[in-house]
Structure 1
């Protein structure tokens, strides 16, 4: 029998009483801290994102030999001529050199391996808006002064001394242009896959040809431009046969609220974006045709089903342009960047709010279709008055429906709370111009004035004083994205557009992805902000993503990284346009083994 010391017994009893009182005290004053918070889906997504980046960085190359080996492993062919000089240029500019970062180049150029090089060269030199490189210097021609052409020429010329002769047709419109049928692209890609051969070293050559001087006023080839009809009717043919998107007819009625997701959005994990690639691909989310201005009615339509080389700053995943860094990313204009040096004050000094200012762009929003436009929907969904109307009124808002609280159990609505009142506590968002169609000659619009007040504009640098910066498509991609990433605020990104840098950014690690329906916006803000007295927020997680994203952007989205990307892209492009492309390559590393 064990006999306890009397003093020890007294100590145990006292400790037990104090422990019980502590539990009761915590329970009474802070229900959220009475027990460890239950895991949230976003916790898993953030953790998995870190693993994804670690796997990428494990492939980093530090010399030409490693880079060439990794190229052959990933691409199935020898690197292009000049690859060694490109690697030296990248490393001299302190680049993080991971072959996966250049996947977009090979995705974009792949179909052109199925077209005869002579045809590609003729198409390229015959286009109206073209940047040409000859003897290590770049020039350009266009129909008139175009700011983006000047900037793209400047970017190309900054690396032109390293480049072979070539011609680059440029898309000068906001909207993407090429929509080649899926079957045609698949045929070209079959030829590309068949060409992936590591040619014997003795058969490989490394010299690019000289091209004749550019023609000032060439006779253009016929791209068979299409300027009428619903965009979706053209776009769906780029999706695989038998897919839901391919079979989806364009909507006949674009008034009223769009069809919001029933349950969790596609390609999500418990309601939050998991597969970022599919979540922004119209072929994988065909309902997007009814809730995005690109498909409702774009500002302009000049589209071709022909495959020819055309470079542009953004595109839909279904388009066939060749991506280059957008001109507005290359400019140092603070309107787009917020300034190259001023990226916002310390996190702790920022407003714990969501900030957005912008115009009601996205296409031709009209009285009969504005309720289907993405920017209008988002601003309604983060407007407390509109949300209260959706909660309480038999006459719901005209352009959105609230998500199911079963799928998104929000702290704000526990115990009968008001979602709209909670939204008011964090949302500072508004249009600075309603962009009416037809134009009204001012910032207002008679059919949207009842729903949106026109707000005062705000410089990007001033927006960095807020913690949460949603970024939304306009007529195409958002030119603010790089600036937001390089700030120390947290970008919350929704888009259907692809950009040059997509394979080097990891969602949930460098930014927060948002579904294009925006049904997850309340859950995202609930996770990061929490709800006073109901559930804790995750401010530290928001700060980590914001600051890690900034550090990463300053590592892989610098002006030098844009030069490195364009340099590599144009080496690859010049090879595709050469008749000897199957034996053009870099093999010096193999010769010296």
Structure 2
């Protein structure tokens, strides 16, 4: 049984395979046709106008082209429309217009205005008038008195597009000239079609690019593409409040939450560079739209009973606080972060996870079921008392992480067994090399982090090497610091305030080895866990291995890939200064402790910042989950190599191959990365200048995107979205003049 949502949260259903909450715009006629299929009949012009009116950055020229192309195969449906009753489609987001584009689409008027809509005067109606009754027309004409703009689209009868004159229209006129036909999120090709290397390159599902001898080394191309992506990301950000509201509606298909104007003012006054890039919040909270406000609050109240390590952050009467039993360092961090905007929040409670790792393990069937409710605008029925009322209604027969994987992924294939890795491993194991390749690099960071499509990598990271009982978790709002793909925890923001300290410039750093010092975190160290194969353990073992040989992929004088085989005793001392810090932590028994002492051959001491500043390369490796020292590493003028499975709130702006160097969690690419940038042990094939560019770009990124104010802005917006789920009326931002840039009292 389901119950209806409030009108504020109701999503606007479309047709075909479209997902109403998708943040990806349709970019072409072919993509639109694929989107409309497999409907029994192709979409009419009315449907096209109705759908794309909710995508405010689609231009009239593109809209006309879509209508024209689609109508070429829509004759049966056009006849159906002529004989059908009048249809109305209610839209819910402002779109742009411009004057004088009648040559692009057959219009009776020289002006087309599309805007916000319902049946009331201050909203928009799109109507197929082929057979509208006179009585209904008369009623409509009274309702629409004082409105204007009637246009004719010949391909689908008469369509009325009406809009009340508002301040938004003035903004539209001003903004139109700034828009282009460029897609919102274009595909950035690695190579131009005629560029050397294009023929051999093909994107892979696992996110890796193959290294084949004789082909161009891909790192320069990866760096150029990363720069284009970042430039586009910055250029596409909203520059006005009205534009930010329109972009919010385009991405999420709902109105912004109450207080969005205050958040926007907060972000602007704190010089936040990215105004629109908060998809992670929507992805984290979207599933909770399937529950009523009462159910959401009941689920939040159940968190401490289900997860004893949880601690609350409470907002009461505009003040934020955490109890004495909370994780002091993190609680102080969150309270301080929220203190500047807590006065604008309603009373509510946020629960944080004391543990580092995620806990909300949602079977894919349950997630799919709830997403159907959201699409239909319905609430899940969880009436009742106690924890039984919020128990998952669907269960998955798999164990471990595979519960969360959709059926079309590798981990969900029939017969796949998650299982633990062997305790007989040596720490030198790695993923098998694809056929025809002598090495691989990361091409798509997001695809390599998707454990469902890369399950063979699970044994190489403590965060995915576990086996969990096949008992789904209750879906509750729990904020966690490290959340890997497909888990249901909400990404928490923990960010330390850093001080500006003098750093040795790149040119003055003389040590070209890769530096790592870290504790024995990342797993539980006992006889039941294959700890030797987890991320920190393997890095120590492989970097200090002096036995056998290794084949490096280097760049020759023409930057073509070439093989060179050298002894590990020649490579590793020249490439690495890697060591575990003692004494070991998280060790459960003396037998394991003795084994660790034997495997690691002793522990190293901590390094001071002064000692570390002479290194050109540093690596950031996950601990129990996310790494808390990434910001500090990025602040230095060293090139940061990062191997992780955890996206964070800043990941959208931190572009691999531009701001840092991405590495796979099995480290198969680490030697080839260093061979390209610092060269072979004797310096052959080095690209020091490219490494310096990444180091400086990363340092600049940290100062622009990872400031305390950026974390505050993310937390403020997260709190507003959380407050909407918490409140009975699910409040949206209303009665705000979009033509006026908002202000906030700090």
Which bin holds the TM-score, normalised by the shorter protein? Answer: 0.7 to 0.9
Check whether the contact 1:123–1:309 (CA below 8 A) recurs between aligned residues: yes
Tell me, yes or no, if the aligned pair for 2:319 and 2:342 is still in contact at 8 Å.
Answer: yes
What residue in structure 2 maps to residue 345 of structure 1?
Answer: 504
Residues 1:149 and 1:244: Cα distance change in structure 2 (over 3 Å): same
CA separation in 2, counterparts of 1:448 and 1:134?
51
Provide Cα deviations, 1:462-497, integer angstroms capped at 9, x if missing partner. 434311111111111111111112222111111112
Count of residues in correspondence between the two structures: 500
Deviations 1:416-447 (A, max 9, x none): 53243122113111011243733559x96434
- Aligned in 2, Cα 1:304/1:485: closer, same or farther, shift over 3 Å? farther
1:204-283 aligned within 5 A: 221=387, 233-247=399-413, 248-251=416-419, 254-255=422-423, 256-257=425-426, 260-264=430-434, 271-283=440-452
CA distance in 1, matches of 2:318, 2:279: 26
Gaps of at least 5 residues in structure 1 are 1-36, 197-218, 227-231, 333-338, 392-401
The answer on 1:389 being equivalent to 2:565 is no
Larger RCO of the pair (alpha carbons < 8 Å, separation 6+): 1
Q: Does 2:241 align with 1:83?
A: no
Q: Which piece of structure 1 moves more, 161-170 or 85-94?
A: 161-170
CA RMSD of aligned residues (A): 3.4
Q: 1:369 aligns with which of 517, 522, 530?
A: 530
Which of 328, 338, 341 is 1:156 aligned to? 338
Partner of 1:102: 278
Query: Which residue number corresponds to residue 41 of structure 1?
Result: 218
The CA distance in 2 between the partners of 1:325 and 1:144, in whole Å, is 16
SS in 2 for 1:417: strand
Q: 1:566 to 1:514 in 2, by over 3 A?
A: same
Determine the structure 1 residue equivalent to 2:313.
131
Q: C-alpha displacement at 1:358, in angstroms?
A: 0.7
- Aligned-partner Cα distance in 1 for 2:608–2:301: 40
Alpha-carbon offset, residue 414 of structure 1: 6.0
In 2, are the aligned partners of 1:413 and 1:419 still within 8 Å (CA)?
Answer: no
Contact 2:241 2:740 in 1 (8 A): no
- 1:62 aligned partner: 239
- Are residues 243 and 161 of structure 1, via their aligned partners in 2, closer, same or farther at CA, if it must alter by over 3 Å? same
Deviation at 1:285, TM superposition (A): 1.2
The within-5 A match list for 1:436-455 is: 437-440=587-590, 445-455=594-604
Structure-1 residue corresponding to 2:195: none
2:227 to 36, 50, 65: 50
Distance apart, 1:576 and its partner CA: 2.1
> Closer, same or farther in 2 for the Cα pair 1:144/1:152, shift >3 Å?
closer
Partner Cα distance (1:573, 1:294) in 2: 27
Asked if the contact 1:109/1:573 (under 8 Å) is kept, the reply is yes
Asked if residue 289 in structure 1 is aligned to residue 458 in structure 2, the reply is yes
Check whether the contact 1:224–1:306 (CA below 8 A) recurs between aligned residues: yes
Q: CA deviation at 1:144?
A: 5.7
Pick which of 147-156 and 372-381 moved more.
147-156
Query: What SS class does the counterpart of residue 618 from structure 2 fall into?
Result: strand
| In structure 2, C-alpha distance between the alignment counterparts of 1:301 and 1:558, rounded to whole Å | 40
Alignment of 1:136-535 (within 5 A): 136-141=318-323, 143=325, 146-195=328-377, 221=387, 233-247=399-413, 248-251=416-419, 254-255=422-423, 256-257=425-426, 260-264=430-434, 271-297=440-466, 305-326=473-494, 329-330=495-496, 332=497, 339-342=498-501, 344-350=503-509, 351-366=511-526, 369-383=530-544, 386=545, 388-391=546-549, 408=553, 417-433=566-582, 434-435=584-585, 437-440=587-590, 445-460=594-609, 462-531=611-680, 535=684
| Distance in 1 (alpha carbons) for counterparts of 2:446 and 2:659 | 15
Q: Is the 8 A contact 1:178 1:305 kept in 2?
A: yes
Q: Which runs of 5+ in 2 are unaligned?
A: 1-213, 305-310, 379-384, 393-397, 742-746
Counterpart-to-counterpart distance in 2, 1:370 and 1:175: 16
Higher helix share goes to which structure?
Answer: 1
Query: Comparing 372-381 with 289-298, which one deviates more in the overlay?
Result: 289-298
Q: CA deviation at 1:156?
A: 2.2
Question: Cα gap change, 1:591/1:413 in structure 2, threshold over 3 Å: closer, same or farther?
Answer: closer
Q: Could you report, residue by residue, the CA deviation over 1:341-374 in whole angstroms, capped at 9, with x for unpaired residues?
A: 1262111112222111011221123457232211
Alpha-carbon distance, 1:69 to partner: 1.9
Distance 1:280 1:257 in 2: 24
CA contact (8 A) 2:400 2:470 kept: no
Q: Name the SS for the 1:170 alignment partner.
A: strand
